[in-house]
Amino acid sequence: MTRPSVLFPLFAEVETLPGVGPKMAANLTHMEIARPRDLVFTLPHSGIDRRRRGSIREVTPPDMVTVEVEVGLHIPARRKGGPYRVNVQDAEETFQLVFFHAREDWLKKQLPTGQRRLISGKLELFDGIAQIVHPDHILLVSEAEDIPEFEPVYPLTQGVTQKVMAKASSAALERVPNLPEWIDPALVVREGWPKWSEALLAAHGPKSAADLAPSAPARARLAYDELMAHQLTLALARASIRRGKGRPTQGDGALRKKVLAALPYKPTGAQDRAIGEIAEDMAKPLRMSRLLQGDVGSGKTLVAFMALLVAVEAGGQGVMMAPTEILARQHLDGLKPLAAEAGVRLEILTGRDKGKDRAEKLAALKTGDIQILVGTHAVFQKDVEFQDLRLAIIDEQHRFGVAQRMELGAKGQAADVLVMTATPIPRSLALAQYGDMDLSILDEKPPGRTPVKTALVSASRMEEVVAHLREAIAEGRQAYWVCPLVEESETVDMTAAEERFRHLRAALGEGLVGLVHGQLPVGQKDAAMARFVAGDTKVLVATTVIEVGVNVPNASIMVIEQAESFGLAQLHQLRGRVGRGAEASTCLLMYRGPLGETARRRLEILRETEDGFRIAEEDMAIRGAGDMIGTAQSGLPRFRIADLERQTALMALAQSDARKLLADDPTLETERGRAARTLLWLMEQDKAIRLISIG
């Protein structure tokens, strides 16, 4: 499949535009502009009111003014490089035009005394005298039409001026073809959106500040086009995963009943709801592709295990994959007691399994004797064969992108897929990143978890904190001490951690303090963790290796040094390591003053709330969407027009629209379907186009 010829002019080299030479083209690449298409989607970010005024009296300086004047006396600079002034008079007022480093002969030609000119620029007061320094425009009165009443202002980069951008954009806009409509016609009417080509012209030719708002019809429509293309791509990925032969997996509920009866508590409403949604999906003949999103401590393990039991009840097998060995072992520890209640055989497979041991496990998997497997990505290796794999659960600690999810689908087993994430993400981001999946959310805490008291403490009170720890240890409690995050290098992180370790060991006693950091060999790390879990060491000094999934119910104090250097989501994850037992827990955020505005806001939000979803929304407001998940590795699209932070509703609309379009027209062959293909080409969603052609 090739790009439709109607789009060729937009995909030519940017040098094919008048006034853009090789040097300018090179400068434009810094703005990610390589073709006319990119210029068309680079919209002005603000505008200047250039409406004609009778006199400068009509505006209050400092402000933009466009006014017709009669040119008066020239007052050359007294010293080299000093101000050269030209007196001018409008209908009511005299003021000055000021120039620095300007050539006198050029100025006399531009502004001949006694003639009339149209001047536009920023009016300011200097020592009580009104003046415009270096006017933006000096025109003959007959050329007044050359200035738009509202002049768009484009983003710039070095070597690219407003004039160049305006000229290049206007040339690129001349190449915009009339394309058939890809948005649902009823939606276009309901929202009052213009056609695509008209929307581009309107967005590049705003008539007032209102036209620059994201909610202005032309801009909203163009943002929607971007979101629609992105959601269509995700919907195609979802359809291709579901096209993979699914098969109904239905259990009789016997094993699940056993486990629920043995639990010391009742599952939360959110857990019940999620368990129901997953079981219902698994019973369908389509392949499940679902995201289970839950806050720290919302009880994802139980939900995951119930899903695995559905597979076992149906006579099949389930696998749960974690990104690291530590996490895989932790899942194993969490699931063991539940598996024992159900009478199900559970094993772990990691890169550490070698020789005879590994061979035995592989054989037991192939015959179906192992019903549930926990492992790292090692379970993906060629020689790992299941007798009948029904469900794969991926613990998404470090993003498993759309591409990898498709790969898992392509493994050809008709396994249902459940992705778990402990990072609450705002709805618009969830849609952008996991729009190809269906969503189950755990937004309640199981009973018996005590709230964590969070306090801010200045680093100057370090010794008080150590004294507080000494008392807590005497009462039999345990604590984490997280060392600051040093961006530059892991070695610096390590030194900081080792120094703090020596300091605390000296203060609290030889055998009571343990240490883990990224540079330690796996064996030592595991041993240090094990001593802490067993309660032999009372304080664990760590770099952020513990933010993920570590579960020690007796640990009820979390000290985070230089908390201002961590992101909100990370602080929330770290805090979630305490408050897992019945003890009242505390989290001390130690900071080095004075705190900047943003850092203070971050720490205060943590003090106010334990709700991960609210924290995520705040995080996005502070940092922006791309930053929040690190655009590079997130597979999050770079939108030129759409704004994920402010246009959540548009994103949700685009998702339902894209899914409906594909449900009605899976191969995009109808008139609107073909228009949607053009949209995908226009938005460079080539992956999606390949998916249609495979389909």
pLDDT for the residue 494: 64
**Mean pLDDT throughout 163-182?**
92
| Model pLDDT, residue 72 | 94
Examine residue 635 and state whether it is found in any structural domain, yes or no: no
Residue 293 forms part of a structural domain: yes
Judge contact between 135 and 121, C-beta under 8 A: yes
CA distance 40 to 537: 62
Angstrom CA distances, 187 to 183, 427, 675, stand at 7, 22, 16
Which amino acid, 533?
Answer: V
CATH number of 95's domain? 2.40.50.140
Q: Is 23 exposed, middle or buried (0-12, 13-18, 19+ CB in 10 A)?
A: exposed
- Write down which residue in 417, 442, 467 finishes a domain: 442
Residue type, 74: H
Domain co-membership, 433 together with 298: yes
b/e string for 547-585 if b means 16 or more Cβ within 10 A?
Answer: bbbbebebbbbbbbbbbbebebbbbbbbbbbbbbbebeb
616 located within any domain? no
Identify the burial level of 194 via C-beta atoms within 10 angstroms of its C-beta, where 0-12 means exposed, 13-18 middle and 19 or more buried: middle
Is it the case that residue 189 has pLDDT exceeding 80? Answer: yes
Residue range 486-515: average pLDDT? 78
Give 427-484 pLDDT, tens digit per residue.
667 777 777 778 888 887 777 677 889 999 998 999 999 999 999 999 989 999 998 7
Pair 356, 403 in one domain: yes
Cα 33 to its chain centre, rounded Å, is: 23
The answer on 359 and 499 residing in a single domain is no
Residues 459 and 541 in one domain: yes
Is the same domain home to 478 and 496? yes
Structure tokens at 173: 């806009």
Q: Are strands 372-375 and 513-516 parallel, antiparallel or unpaired?
A: unpaired
**CB-neighbour burial class of residue 640 (10 A; exposed 0-12, middle 13-18, buried 19+):** middle
553, 478 Cβ separation under 8 angstroms: no
CB-facing half-sphere around the CA of 695: CA atoms within 13 A: 22
- Give the residue from 147, 167, 194 where a domain finishes: 147
**pLDDT higher than 90, residue 146:** no
Q: CA-CA distances (angstroms) from residue 51 to 70, 149, 334?
A: 19, 5, 69
Residue 414 and residue 474 in one domain: no
Question: What digits encode the pLDDT tens for the residues 63-120?
Answer: 999 999 999 999 998 888 789 999 999 999 999 999 998 888 899 999 999 999 999 9
Are 281 and 438 within 8 A, CB to CB? yes
Residues belonging to the chain: 695
Is the model's pLDDT at 584 over the cut of 90? no
CATH number, domain at 498? 3.40.50.300
Residues 521 and 428 in one domain: no
Identify the domain boundary among 147, 166, 193: 147
pLDDT band at 282 (very low <50, low <70, confident <90, very high): very high
Q: What is the dihedral of CA 138, 144, 149, 153, to 10 degrees?
A: -40
pLDDT the model gives residue 220: 95
Give the best-scoring range by mean pLDDT among 67-81, 226-240, 509-523: 67-81
Confidence (pLDDT) at 245: 64
Which of 69-73, 103-107, 224-228, 629-633 has the weakest average pLDDT?
629-633
Kindly tell me if the per-residue pLDDT of 2 is higher than 90: no
How open is the CA angle 49-52-57, to the nearest 5 degrees?
Answer: 95
CA distances from 467 to 317, 470, 472, 473 (A): 52, 5, 9, 10
Distant-in-sequence, close-in-space partners of 471: CB < 8 Å, separation ≥ 6? none
List, in sequence order, the alpha helices (H) in 346-391. 355-366
Give backbone dihedrals phi and psi of 568, rounded to 5 degrees, phi first.
-60, -45
439 or 273, higher pLDDT? 273
Cβ-defined contacts of 533-538 (< 8 Å, 24+):
535/478, 536/511, 537/511, 537/512, 537/513, 538/473, 538/477, 538/478, 538/479, 538/508, 538/512, 538/513
In percent, the amount of the chain with pLDDT more than 70 equals 89
Q: How many CB atoms lie within 10 A of CB 133?
A: 15
Q: What mean pLDDT do residues 605-622 have?
A: 78
Residue 64 sits in the same domain as residue 32: no
Q: For residue 197, tell me if it sits in a domain.
A: yes
CA 8 to chain centre: 32
Which ranges constitute the DSSP H helices of 354-461? 355-366, 402-410, 427-434
CA 175 to chain centre: 33
| Position 326, amino acid | I
pLDDT score of 157:
86
Return the higher-pLDDT residue of 515 and 544.
Answer: 515
Assess whether 357 and 270 both reside in one domain: yes
Q: Which of 171-185, 426-440, 531-545 has the lowest mean pLDDT?
A: 426-440
* pLDDT tens by residue, 46-61: 999 899 999 999 998 8
Section 118-125 average pLDDT: 94
Say if 138 falls within a structural domain.
yes
Give the tens place of pLDDT for each residue, 354-366: 889 999 999 999 9
How many structural domains is the chain composed of? 4
186 shares its domain with 279 = no
333 and 264 in a single domain? The answer is: yes
Strands (E), 76-230: 83-89, 94-100, 116-126, 129-133, 137-139, 150-153
| Residue ranges making up the domain that contains 186 | 5-47+155-212
Q: Which of 378-387, 577-586, 639-648, 662-671 has the highest mean pLDDT?
A: 662-671
Q: Is 500 part of any domain?
A: yes
CA 198, chain centre distance (Å): 31
Read off the pLDDT band of 288 (50, 70, 90).
confident
Task: Write the burial class of residue 477 (CB in 10 Å: 0-12 exposed, 13-18 middle, 19+ buried).
Answer: buried
Q: Is residue 328 part of a domain?
A: yes
What is the structure's pLDDT at 283?
A: 93
Whether the Cβ atoms of residue 539 and residue 504 lie closer than 8 Å to each other: yes
The answer to whether residues 128 and 178 belong to one domain is no
Residue 522 has pLDDT above 70, yes or no: yes
Q: Which of 661, 653, 679, 646 is nearest to 213 (CA)?
A: 646
Residue 278 has pLDDT above 50, yes or no: yes
- The predicted model gives 14-37 an average pLDDT of 90
Within a domain: 476: yes
| Cross-strand pairs, 393 | 320, 418
Q: What is the mean pLDDT of residues 383-400?
A: 78
Residue 427: its pLDDT value, please?
A: 67
pLDDT band at 622 (very low <50, low <70, confident <90, very high): low
| Average pLDDT, rounded, for the chain | 85
Read off the pLDDT band of 492 (50, 70, 90): low
